[in-house]
Amino acid sequence: MAAQPEITNMALFCDFENVALGVRDAKYAQFDIKKVLERLLLKGSIVVKKVYCDWGRQSITPQMTLQ
């Protein structure tokens, strides 16, 4: 019998305040979280996605959040 391929499940916890600061400091015109998610999906399945931030302090646009 052939061995089943190992399935990797992962959880993604994102500190969005630090992402926003990094994008600002790197002077990126925009940040596309989809590229990060696509890269992670090459490694396995994302079963949980959580984004943490003090939403009242950050000027984060809705298109930057995880979907």
How is the chain split into domains, by residue range? 9-64
Higher pLDDT among residues 42 and 63, named by residue: 42
Q: Cα dist. 21→12, 18, 50 in Å?
A: 19, 5, 18
Whole-number pLDDT of residue 1: 60
Whole-number pLDDT of residue 40: 93
* Confidence check: pLDDT of 59 > 70: no
- What is the rounded average pLDDT of the residues 49-63? 70
> Position 52: which residue type?
Y
pTM over 0.75: no
- Dihedral in degrees, nearest 10, Cα atoms 63, 20, 24, 29: -20
